[in-house]
Amino acid sequence: MFVYMNGQIIKQDEVRISPFDHGFLYGLGVFETFRLYNGHPFLLDDHLERLNKSLETLMIERAFTRDEIMEIVISLSNANELKDAYIRLNVSAGNGEIGLQTDVYKKPNVIMFQKPLQPPKEMQEKEGVWLETKRNTPELSERLKSHHYLNNIAAKREIGNDLRKEGIFFTSEGFIAEGIVSNVFWIKGGTLYTPTIETGILNGVTRQLVMALAKKNGWRMEEGYYKKEQLLEAEEAFFTNSIQEIVPIVCINSRVFPGRKGKHAKNLYEDYSLHREELWSRNQL
């Protein structure tokens, strides 16, 4: 496979990053993952909006436009001969002296990875698992999609490598937060519920799209602070992220949910699927 790095398309085993990169030394870096459907980068504008905001927050002097990223995506996809793919766009602070830096980072390292990923023929399903590991609080005022992943790794180790399972974090106060690599939703009485970003969760791009789809379709929507009993009383529940899309929950412990048979998740997924090859942003709905 080929990788893009700082203006060049090179073989993945030729990628070199200095140990003086502050992304390596201090975790100063952010990334976005998105999917390419038949050559279209789904919700790219929304991903870049979040990425550019995060870079500004981290004082990394770099911003990306759709045109710039599309040029990279096309070049990399041609090199790898892919039309359907997983893409990770990674921006680290760049090289600096050993020690904490307060100045702006002016020469970040930009890398784009890609691997083949075909559109699913139907929704995946997963078992939800309550985590003992608590969701840590964001390092800043809101959670960034940053290189700081130890909390997620600890949670993943807790549930193991079973791809049919997703862990569900609680905050230290006992409120439902999010999945290890996902946001969580549930439906009861015609209302779609999801934890507020004030719980310290990542405001996922797919999370925002699902909320926009719910609004477009006239659903009631509520964000708030919820205990696990409220989720367990739901009619349906599902996870969301940009790679796995909408993933219905089949059970949490002994509580069984309808999974992909649930009509609300099915309707959302069908609506979602219609837009894969056309939407640049949820704002187009």
pLDDT tens for each residue of 26-74: 999 999 999 999 999 999 999 999 999 999 999 999 999 999 999 999 9
pLDDT at residue 26, as a whole number: 96
pLDDT for residue 120: 85
- Where residue 154 falls among pLDDT bands split at 50, 70, 90? very high
Instruction: Using pLDDT thresholds of 50, 70 and 90, give the confidence band for residue 122.
Output: confident
pLDDT in tens, 163-180: 999 999 999 999 999 999
Q: Residue 209 pLDDT > 90, yes or no? A: yes
For residue 107, report the phi and psi dihedrals to the nearest 5 degrees: -130, 70
Query: In whole angstroms, what is the distance from residue 134 CA to residue 20 CA?
Result: 32
Check pLDDT > 90 for residue 146: yes
Neighbours of 166 (CB within 10 A): 26
- pLDDT value at residue 121: 84
Helix 66-80 vs helix 44-57: angle between axes, to the nearest 10 degrees?
A: 110
Q: In terms of DSSP H, where are the helices of 168-260? A: 205-216, 228-232
SS (H, E, C) 234-259: CCEEEEEECCCEEEEEEEECCEECCH
The predicted structure's pLDDT at residue 97? 95
Q: How many CB atoms lie within 10 A of CB 33?
A: 17
pLDDT-derived band at 112, boundaries 50, 70, 90: very high
Mean pLDDT to the nearest integer, 182-207: 97
Structure tokens at 96: 């600096």
**Nearest Cα residue to 136 out of 118, 155, 116, 122:** 155
Percent of the chain with pLDDT over 90: 98
Nearest to 63 by CA among 35, 40, 91, 38: 91
Give me the residues paired with residue 139 across strands.
Answer: none
Please report the domains of the chain, with CATH numbers, ordered by start residue.
2-116 (3.30.470.10), 126-279 (3.20.10.10)
Token look-up 């140990």 returns 19
Question: What stretch of H or E contains 114?
Answer: strand 109-116
Record the tokens describing residue 239, joined without a space: 């996870």
- State the Cα–Cα distance between residues 86 and 116, nearest whole angstrom: 6
Please state, in angstroms and rounded to a whole number, the distance separating the CA atoms of residues 105 and 93. 6
- Stated pTM of the model: 0.96
Please tell me the distance from the alpha carbon of residue 166 to that of residue 187, in angstroms, as a whole number: 18
The distance in angstroms from the start CA to the end CA of the chain is 35
| 39: exposed, middle or buried (Cβ count in 10 Å: 0-12, 13-18, 19+) | middle
Q: Are 248 and 260 in contact (CB under 8 A)?
A: yes
Backbone angles phi, psi at 61, to 5 degrees: -80, 80
What confidence score (pLDDT) does residue 93 get? 97
Average pLDDT value for the chain: 97
pLDDT digits (tens, 9 = 90+) for 221-257: 999 999 999 999 999 999 999 999 999 999 999 999 9
